Amino acid sequence: MSPTATANAPGAAREVTAPPRPTAPIGRAAARKRKSMSARLTSAAGKLVALAIVVVAWHVFVTGPGKASGIPTPLQLIETGAELVVTGQYWDAVGNTLLTALIGFGLSVLIGVPLGLVNGTYRKVEQSTSFVVDFGRTIPGVAILPLVLLLFGGTRTMAVVLVMFSAVWPILVQSTYAAQQLSSQMKQVARAFRLSPTSRIRDIYLPSSLPFLMTGLRIAATISLLITISAEFLGGADGIGQRLYQALTVDDTQRMFVYVFTAGVLGICLNRLLVLAQSRVLWWHPSERVNKP
């Protein structure tokens, strides 16, 4: 009997094949991936073009109308930078600046976050301290430099105190907002389920406050680096700011611009690290998912 007749015979077992799997979702995912890659390449190309325009304009200005200003050309800056980055003096300055900024930033977080959460949780406390907070955050950190210099001299302690005074305010304010935006429904849920204080903080309070806290941390981190370099420049603490002042006093503009660009690169790297950390911590938040494929 032929295979065809056997397949068509009554009672014969029929071979059942699974229907083909749909390929539309896979195609859409691939299209989104290609679109995302194209957008990233376009953005990178635009940044490179803008950078090239700035470098060309810089070179034209320095070699033309700004020749008497003493500003180095891009090539001279690269040559001086290549000579400096192989010296221990350069990396000592970078390390001292980063260490001072990190210490001041860490202490600001330890002080600002708890005080801000308490301030935002209890309305009477917030009303009592609102004037102090508004007044304190409007004072520039550099304004108290003479007082801090009298107390601590041109040391790292002086720079750390100055950083703490400047960076604690955005953390305190954002922590206050974070505690205030917690809805009453969420608090009722925590009470209804009789969650422990640890569970309330871990599962309800902390996720709800993280978007505000991350914003405050990014602002405070940038302020910490800026104030550190300012304290080193004006107060004499060891670091990039002190090297800038030394280069300025001997009119070494090439070395001075190398340290200026070093400070800029550190700021960009610090902000990028915080953006990556925010995307990792707030992966569930709509603000982080809106542009992802």
Q: What is the pLDDT of residue 103?
A: 96
Structure tokens at 276: 């990556």
Q: What is the pLDDT of residue 7?
A: 45
CA–CA separation, 190 and 289 (whole Å): 27
| Spans in the chain with pLDDT lower than 50 | 1-7, 9, 11-13, 293
Residue 105 in contact with residue 220, Cβ under 8 Å?
yes
Residue 126 in contact with residue 183, Cβ under 8 Å?
no
Per DSSP, 290 falls in state T
Q: Integer distance in angstroms from the first to the last C-alpha of the chain?
A: 57
Q: What is the pLDDT of residue 43?
A: 82
- Burial string for 99-109 (b: 16+ CB within 10 Å, else e) reads ebbbbbbebbb
Q: What is the pLDDT of residue 39?
A: 78
Q: Specify the DSSP element, H or E, that contains 277.
A: helix 253-281
Q: What is the pTM of this model?
A: 0.80
Half-sphere exposure of 2 (CA within 13 A, CB side): 3
Tens digit of each residue's pLDDT (9 = 90 or more) over 167-218: 999 999 998 988 888 777 877 887 888 888 778 777 777 777 888 888 889 9
Q: What is the pLDDT of residue 1?
A: 47
Residue 214 in contact with residue 273, Cβ under 8 Å?
no
- The identity of residue 137, as a single letter, is R
Q: What is the pLDDT of residue 206?
A: 76
Residue 113 in contact with residue 215, Cβ under 8 Å?
no
Handedness of CA 109, 209, 272, 141 (dihedral sign): negative
CA–CA separation, 40 and 173 (whole Å): 34
Can you state the percent helix, strand and coil of the chain, rounding each to 5?
Answer: 80, 0, 20
Residue 186 in contact with residue 208, Cβ under 8 Å?
yes
Residue 169 in contact with residue 216, Cβ under 8 Å?
no
Q: What is the pLDDT of residue 93?
A: 95
